[in-house]
Structure 1
Amino acid sequence: MPNPIKFFDLALSHGATISPFVWATKYAIAHKGLEMEVVPGGFTGIMERTGGKSERLPAIVDDGEWVLDSWLIAEHLDAKYPDRPTLIGDPSVKVLTQFIETWLWQTAISPWMTCYIKNYRDWSVPEDHAYVTESRERMFGRKIEDIIVGREDRLPQVPPKLELLRGILKEHKWLGGESPNYADYRALAVFLFCASVADTPPLTADDPLRDWIDRGFDLYGGLGRHPGLKPLFGLELREGDPEPFAKGPTMVSGLVSRNTGPQSTAAETARLKRQS
């Protein structure tokens, strides 16, 4: 058995990891069946903890070798441990995963950050408060207390935009197909980030994404079930809020359905004729 990998965590005061990149790395190491020696900490003091090797996380030390950046870590693990389950497998998987992740950052993380940024700051370890406040207020150009104003109106706008992910996962058990791969971990990391800061659930209790998220959080002995994480499901909608997800056929399901002859397309054809 290889030596445990030294893993530098980035956590909030409740102990749960905050960074999606660090979450993805935790899952990558677990996917390979490797043990972790966790070095805890928050945003400040990273240079000291890493001995000057990095000012950002994730970072790992594997048999004395430092590897920085979540993508480089995943590629390192595949190269060093080819006899263990593959994370990326093919260069095309990396490209498609980066596309999915970029879409999720724009669709989910960006608006969720404006809703939960005060928790992001308040729940960080005390010595991080000044850094988080100054850096995020500079990033957004206004006070944290002003950023969250109107979040009750913004939160219901996010779930309908996740329909692409729902449609794909309706047809496939994982983004990796029959078993999870690095695409699943990068996408799950978005929801793990949200669970670390969400004092109000961002998704409704009946959201179809719940199956994939729950299975993903349960992987590797419940890696995503840290007691510091908050519930993702239970958003209560108000009158006038948009439908959180499609209740019937969607363009996404149409794109992935298979034409095996007139019988397979009859229902959709009839529906389109009725609409016209």
Structure 2
Amino acid sequence: MAKDNKITFFDLTHESGCTTSPFVWATKYALKHKGFDLDVVPGGFTGILDRTGGRSERLPVICDDGEYVLDSWLIAEYLDAKYPDRPTLIGDPSVKVLTQFLETWLWKTVVGPWARCFAVQYRDRCFPHDIQYITESRLRMWGKPMEELIVGREDVFPKVLPEMELLRGILREHKWLGGETPNYADYRALAVFLWAASIADTPPMTEDDPLRDWIDRGFDLYGGLGRIPGMSPLFGLKLREGDPEPFAKGPSLVAGLVKRNTGPASTAAETAHITGKGEKAPA
């Protein structure tokens, strides 16, 4: 049982102090969701095995009154099982499956492209003693030096934005992925944007992106958990002529999929949009 309502949390940060791993971010939010205070053990990418007493070379890791738990998903499940009287993170096994699907989609559509776009900053914001590890390990992961990965990134940013329309469609209809209150699905998805804000040297999203409301509310949770010093702005991308539309500006099939049909009046706008009946005849 957590002593004095505090759990030891092994953080993974850049030199700025920003948490930088999506998995670690999700765990930080999970602990606060459960109402715990964090006894933070700071550090970067190297020396994790020493910091955890030889228990793990990867983070996140927590220690709950002497009991170590590794891996972000196992930590969330542990917290629900150990503290069922506190707010639930996952609730039902189906939530885990659907959240993993969502996260897999986000990693393919957002994390992969952005990781390459911000590769140089990801390295340069590290502690000096981590730079060699990051440089060599990411070269093996990506197959190219970081300076080559970022070439042409100004063409990548606008292409990523329309790919997030599925997430926008859901969050146009719901306050949180968890419904009226956030759950672990929100934290796993928010972790992608928290990670991006820890490394972005230029905003990857437009000022008016509809996801901004959910992202801002997420960053503000738990006393501004995502507003730590050193985070970079996510919003402010300037689109160029010829760039694709970043998000749907009117009725969309994404939003329509989650709306309830209560009769013709509820579907009239979408019907007019997809049939063209609402368009003006040419003069």
Deviation at 1:140, TM superposition (A): 1.0
After superposition, the C-alpha distances for 1:1-50 in whole angstroms (9 at most, x for unaligned) are 93211110000011000000000000000000011100000000000101
Tell me which of 147, 153, 171 is aligned to 1:169: 171
Tell me which of 261, 268, 272 is aligned to 1:266: 268
Following the alignment from structure 2 to structure 1, what is the Cα–Cα distance between the partners of residues 270 and 248? 16
Structure 2's unaligned 5+ residue stretches are none
Match of 2:158 in 1: 156
Q: Specify the SS of the correspondent of 1:158.
A: helix
Match of 2:112 in 1: 110
After superposition, the C-alpha distances for 1:54-111 in whole angstroms (9 at most, x for unaligned) are 0000000001101000000000000111110000000000000000000000010000
Deviation at 1:155, TM superposition (A): 1.0
AA aligned opposite 1:104 = L
Match of 2:209 in 1: 207
Following the alignment from structure 1 to structure 2, what is the Cα–Cα distance between the partners of residues 188 and 219? 11
Following the alignment from structure 1 to structure 2, what is the Cα–Cα distance between the partners of residues 65 and 201? 40
AA aligned opposite 1:57 = L
TM-score by length of 2: 0.95
Alignment of 1:1-276 (within 5 A): 2-3=2-3, 4-274=6-276
AA aligned opposite 1:170 = R
Deviation at 1:261, TM superposition (A): 1.4
Deviation at 1:257, TM superposition (A): 1.3
Following the alignment from structure 2 to structure 1, what is the Cα–Cα distance between the partners of residues 208 and 267? 29
Deviation at 1:265, TM superposition (A): 1.9
AA aligned opposite 1:115 = C
After superposition, the C-alpha distances for 1:183-235 in whole angstroms (9 at most, x for unaligned) are 00000000001000001001000000000000000000000001111000000
Deviation at 1:181, TM superposition (A): 0.2
Following the alignment from structure 1 to structure 2, what is the Cα–Cα distance between the partners of residues 103 and 268? 27
Q: What's the Cα RMSD here?
A: 1.2
AA aligned opposite 1:171 = E
Following the alignment from structure 1 to structure 2, what is the Cα–Cα distance between the partners of residues 273 and 52? 63
Deviation at 1:274, TM superposition (A): 2.1
Deviation at 1:267, TM superposition (A): 2.6
- Percent of pairs with identical residues: 72
AA aligned opposite 2:226 = G
Of residues 254-263 and 215-224 in structure 1, the stretch that sits farther from structure 2 once superposed is 254-263
Q: Specify the SS of the correspondent of 1:75.
A: helix
Of residues 85-94 and 258-267 in structure 1, the stretch that sits farther from structure 2 once superposed is 258-267
Following the alignment from structure 2 to structure 1, what is the Cα–Cα distance between the partners of residues 35 and 47? 29
Following the alignment from structure 2 to structure 1, what is the Cα–Cα distance between the partners of residues 72 and 272? 48
Following the alignment from structure 1 to structure 2, what is the Cα–Cα distance between the partners of residues 211 and 41? 31
Structure 1's unaligned 5+ residue stretches are none
After superposition, the C-alpha distances for 1:121-145 in whole angstroms (9 at most, x for unaligned) are 0000000000000000111111111
Following the alignment from structure 1 to structure 2, what is the Cα–Cα distance between the partners of residues 185 and 206? 22
After superposition, the C-alpha distances for 1:157-191 in whole angstroms (9 at most, x for unaligned) are 11111000000000000000000000000000000
Aligned residue pair count: 276
Following the alignment from structure 2 to structure 1, what is the Cα–Cα distance between the partners of residues 208 and 274? 28
AA aligned opposite 1:2 = A
Following the alignment from structure 1 to structure 2, what is the Cα–Cα distance between the partners of residues 2 and 72? 17
AA aligned opposite 1:205 = E
